[in-house]
Structure 1
Amino acid sequence: MPRDRTYRVVVRVFRIVFRLLGLRFDVRGAEHIPRHGPAVLASNHLSYLDFTFIGLAASSRHRLVRFMAKHATFANPVSGPLMRAMRHIPVDRSSGAAAYRRAARELAAGELVGIFPEATISRSFTLKSFKLGAATLAVREQVPLVPVVLWGAQRTFTVDRRYSVRRGKTIMVFVGEAIVAAPGDDPRDVDAELRRRMDELLAIAVRDYPDRPRDDADRWWLPAADRLPSG
């Protein structure tokens, strides 16, 4: 679609960046992302580049994702015009209803909406408490809720000024089977199921991750409980 020309250019640019960085991707379960029609993709949040990694998985299904993102991202003179051109959804915490309505309109138009239920990047790299937005959208708009888990993304560019351009890092993107809520389901119950599935996916990703810290100083990207020096 012509209106998505900017989005598609950005996808191509990031593919080039990924190749330059020598990133190795392990994408599993992409078939759970619908090829057609609406869905909510709910992911954990490890880095500032998470939306690009989720977008990579979605692009294998020839889909684009409209992400809900902090309003400040849209106010930035560099990222703002791009975010608006890609039809991402600004979230103003003082007026969350407007973001919800926009997300609902995108779903009604058959789009994929991406949400980070934790709302902020997890410094422990384990799941924080969830906001109910993803589950509420899935129940009220009667669309599939697709759990997504990232691992390794925190090694690229994350909070506390931690970033690395070292080549060869592995990025895992695991997509789980969609949760299909009934009209009368309680969003809190759907949210609990979402978290259970994401916990399971994250445990598998951490277990199967092929890279290991180079030394004790490089253990910072492990889950918080595993960061103590070895031995």
Structure 2
Amino acid sequence: MTSMSRTQRALYFCGRLLVRAFYRVTALGLDNLPDGGFLLVPNHITWVDALVLQLACPRPIRYVIDQEYYHRPILHPILRALGCIPINIRHSHGAVRAAAEKAVAGEIVCVFPEGQLERTGTLLRLQRGYELIARHANALVVPVWLDQLWGSIFSFQGGKFFTKFPKRIPYPVTIAFGKPLEPKAADVATVREELLKLGESCFSRRPSLDRHLAEECVRGLKRRPFATAVIDGIDHSKLSRSKLLGAAAAFSRYLRKQFSDERIAIVLPASKGSMVANLAVTLANKVPVDLNFTMGRAAN
């Protein structure tokens, strides 16, 4: 959309306020965005992906929307005002042509190639509709990865939308724009690979990876201390988070005094004891090495 009406500006403003109330968005790879028209192909995790993506992008985005959602009474006036393009999967020629025309006119057109929201937080099979648009318009294709949105209240984590408590507000989110692909090279296999590469890059930037594993374990176990942490596979007994942390902390002090080596071997069956031992070694700032105790002398 090269120029926006007052209604569109007002809707974008309200959308930005909504997103900023729940998310703290960091954009990466903005220098990869071409001038003129092109296609954006992001993964699809939450109901507000379009709003989050628009907040990260410096230019207006025109979205291709499933016709079923486009014509819903509550959403239709807003989506129509924003210039979204409805698409019917069975009769998509008109929508493909309309989207291609917008890209040729210099606009950014966004297609969610999965065609539906992710229900497990993992990338689904990509549909080929965006390929037709890219080739009709001879437009570059930019893969986009929306990171850390899984787990927010608008995602399906826990088997439900909206009705869960947010883990934190604002929720940190990273949007990574990949390098543009030529339309002939942007097949589903290539785009999928590029999306996964962007996801890997985003994951490696997460602040939690800069902290010690033991610190993250302590943080996690301190939350809901009376919740069950381990169910023993041998006797089916349970161990709460607080008891697991307490036992491991006490054992770690002993290990720190008795062992100077960096690595400590653990020869135990999968059980509460094995879990306590592994956590204790980690808390002692050492590396646990689990050996298969069932191998016996054959392992030598």
Please classify the TM superposition score into its range, dividing by the shorter chain length. Answer: 0.7 to 0.9
For residues 52-93 of structure 1, the C-alpha deviation after alignment (integer angstroms, 9 at most, x for no partner) is 1111122x2xx1111111112222222111101111111112
Q: 1: distance between equivalents of 2:122 and 2:87? A: 23
Q: 2: CA distance between counterparts of 1:144 and 1:37?
A: 10
How far has the Cα of 1:210 moved from its partner?
A: 3.3
Q: 1:135 aligns with which of 124, 131, 142?
A: 131
Give the structure, 1 or 2, with the largest relative contact order (CA under 8 Å, sep 6 or more): 1
Partner of 1:170: 172
Which secondary structure does the structure 2 equivalent of 1:158 belong to?
Answer: coil
Contact 2:25 2:56 in 1 (8 A): no
Q: Deviations over 1:128-169 (max 9, x none)?
A: 111111223223321110010001223130234333444131
Distance 1:201 1:93 in 2: 28
Identity of aligned residues (%): 24
5+ unaligned residues in a row in structure 1: which ranges? 219-228
Matched, 1:84 2:84: no
Output aligned runs, 1:194-209, within 5 Å: 194-209=191-206
Q: 1:111 aligns with which of 107, 116, 126?
A: 107
- Alpha-carbon distance change, 112 to 2 in structure 1, aligned in 2, over 3 angstroms: closer
Contact 1:37 1:110 in 2 (8 A): yes
TM-score, normalised to structure 1's length? 0.81
Which residue is equivalent to 2:31? Answer: 31
Structure 1 residue identity aligned to 2:18: V
For residues 42-121 of structure 1, the aligned pairs below 5 Å read 42-58=41-57, 60=58, 63-121=59-117
Q: Residues 149 and 201 of structure 1 are in contact (CA less than 8 Å); yes or no, is this contact kept in structure 2?
A: yes
TM-score of the aligned structures, taking structure 2 as reference length: 0.63
Q: Tell me the matched-pair count.
A: 211
- The CA distance in 2 between the partners of 1:121 and 1:111, in whole Å, is 25
CA 1:4 to 1:195, structure 2 compared with 1: closer, same or farther past 3 Å?
A: farther
How many Å separate the matches in 1 of 2:117 and 2:92? Answer: 19
Cα offset for 1:2?
Answer: 6.2
**Corresponding residue for residue 41 of structure 1:** 40
Is the CA contact 1:89–1:99 (under 8 Å) kept in the aligned structure 2? yes
Is the contact between residue 26 and residue 172 of structure 1 (CA under 8 Å) also seen in structure 2?
Answer: yes
TM-superposed deviation, 1:17: 2.1
Residue 202 (structure 1) shift: 0.8
User: What SS is found at the alignment partner of 1:66?
Assistant: strand
Aligned residue for 2:8? 7
- 1:179 Cα deviation after fit: 0.5
Aligned residue type for 1:46 = I
Provide the aligned C-alpha RMSD in A. 2.7
1:94 partner SS? coil
For 2:84 and 2:104, how far apart are their aligned partners in 1? 15
Q: Which has the larger radius of gyration?
A: 2
In the alignment, is the contact (CA less than 8 A) between 1:49 and 1:153 conserved in 2? Answer: no
